[in-house]
Amino acid sequence: MHTYEVFLKKDGKEGFRHAGALDAPDWEMALLLARECYCRRGEGDEMWLVDRADLVVAPIELLEPNGDRPHRTSDGSVVAERRKQQRQVGGGK
Amino acid sequence: MSTLDLSPGVREYLLALADDEHIIGARHTSWIGSGPFLEEDLAFCSIAQDELGHAIALYELLTDDIDALGLLRDPAEYRCCELVELPCREWDEALVRHVLYDHAEGLRWQALADSSIPEIVGVAKRARREEEFHVAHADGVLRRVLFAGGDAHDRVVAATVRLLPVAATMWTSVDGETEALATGVATSSSADLAERWWTEVKVLYEASGVVLDRPAAASGAGRTQRSGHFADLHAEIRLVIDLDPNARW
């Protein structure tokens, strides 16, 4: 058995979205089973199946953010705090 | 869909297909939660739903009260064949019946696709599209099991040999077929369809190295008599409606 990741796309601008996964002996059966398991109610107008064995999976470490690079993760909290203080003293206008 | 003004013979002809669809759908649903693997479980039960949908579409052409027609008839008034009444509690038998039945069903809908009655053409068109997938699914699973060899192969071949004579009951001509053909409601006789069905089945198995003997035509009372398997199933499908036959959903 192979495990296939199922991606569906609705007509229009939306991109493909991951819908789930399924087990099947090969891609032909995977297509038939995916139709019955994931597309019974018009959930997608297009479908991709990807054999999980063909996925390039990134090592976890590759994605770990560096804790010492705060300038890359500005969430606006510093500016928000300053504006709040300015409002409180009436100087924010 | 409104009830059509059909002659008794044509009604009988359509009822045979409607009852087959209803009962095979009911039998297939017994696999909910116990299919060989999750994906196949879902696919098989979704096919069962399609068959029940076909039954409803045909019942709607015949009556305004499909509960009464579909569920509350006397067993002797049903016109299903013995193949669909079998319990098939082992997966090998359920799979083989799926193969034998859906090949036949596809052909039976084809015989209605050029019907002289437009409402029937509409129902047949929808059903045929679904049948293409049912047959692809049935053939796909069967081929892979036969290809796998070993116990799986032997069990499926044995189930096929057991079920083929029962499958011949699908082709017992129903009262009304002559009329259905004469009025153009259907365009192929059961005998013609049986020939084409056997060719499809034979070729399918031969491609996997299995040579089958053609089953003899079914003898016996045909569709006017229920097999010993029907009573329990009928009681089961009436379970809810018998609680309150007048309830409206």
Contact A32 B40 (CB under 8 A): no
Q: In chain A, which residues have their Cβ closer than 8 Å to the Cβ of B144?
A: 25-26, 29
Residue B160: CB partners within 8 Å, gap ≥ 6?
B96, B100, B205, B210, B212
What pLDDT is attached to residue A66? 74
| Beta strand segments in A1-93, E | 2-9, 17-24, 46-51
How high is the pLDDT of residue B235? Answer: 95
- C-alpha R_g of chain B: 18
Mutate to test the interface with A, among B28, B38, B39, B130 (most CBs of A within 10 A): B39
pLDDT at B102: 98
Categorize the per-residue pLDDT at A7 as very low, low, confident or very high, splitting at 50, 70 and 90.
very high
Contact call for A29 and B141, based on CB within 8 A = yes
**Residue found by looking up tokens 């019974």 in the block:** A40
A87–chain B nearest CA distance, Å = 59
CB contact under 8 Å between A36 and B38, yes or no, is no
Name the residue in chain B with its Cα closest to that of A24.
B39
Write down the pLDDT at residue A68. Answer: 74
Note the pLDDT of residue A76. 83
Q: Is the pLDDT of residue A92 over 90?
A: no
Q: How far apart are CA B51 and CA B39, in angstroms?
A: 19
The pLDDT, as a whole number, for residue A91 is 58
What is the per-residue pLDDT for B175? 83
Q: What is the pLDDT at residue B1?
A: 52
pLDDT for B22: 98
The Cα-based distances of B62 to B1, B59, B72, B126, B172 in angstroms read 10, 5, 15, 18, 21
Smallest CA-to-CA distance from B233 within B9, B91, B29, B6 is with B29
pLDDT in tens, B196-240: 999 999 999 999 999 999 998 877 778 999 999 999 999 999 999
The whole-model pTM stands at 0.88
Q: Sign (positive/negative) of CA torsion B154, B159, B161, B167?
A: negative
Q: Is B188 on the interface with A (CB under 8 A)?
A: no
Span B45-80, pLDDT tens digits: 999 999 999 999 999 999 999 999 999 999 999 999
Please state the rounded mean pLDDT for residues B5-23.
Answer: 96
**Does B32 reach chain A within 8 Å, measured CB to CB?**
no
Q: Tell whether B133 lies on the interface with A, counting CB pairs under 8 A.
A: yes
How confident is the model over B29-39, as a mean pLDDT?
94
Taking each helix axis from N to C terminus, what angle separates B8-28 and B91-110, rounded to the nearest 10 degrees? 150
Q: pLDDT tens digits, residue range A41-91?
A: 889 999 999 999 999 999 999 988 777 777 777 788 888 999 999 999 875
Residue of B nearest to A30 (CA): B39
pLDDT over threshold 80, residue B165: yes
Q: Decide if pLDDT at B139 tops 80.
A: yes
Q: Mean pLDDT in chain B?
A: 95
Output the pLDDT for position B217: 83
Report the pLDDT value the prediction gives residue B2, as an integer from 0 to 100: 59
Place B44 in a pLDDT band, splitting at 50, 70 and 90.
Answer: very high
**CA-wise closest residue to B204 among B89, B92, B96, B108:** B96
> Which of A22, A26, A36 is the mutation pick for testing B, counting most B CBs within 10 A?
A36
Q: Which residues of A touch B133 (CB under 8 A)?
A: 32, 35-36
**Residue A18 pLDDT > 90:** yes
Distance of residue A20 Cα from the nearest chain B Cα, in angstroms: 12
Alpha-carbon Rg for chain A, nearest whole angstrom, is 23
CA dihedral of B18, B24, B29, B34, whole degrees rounded to 10: -170
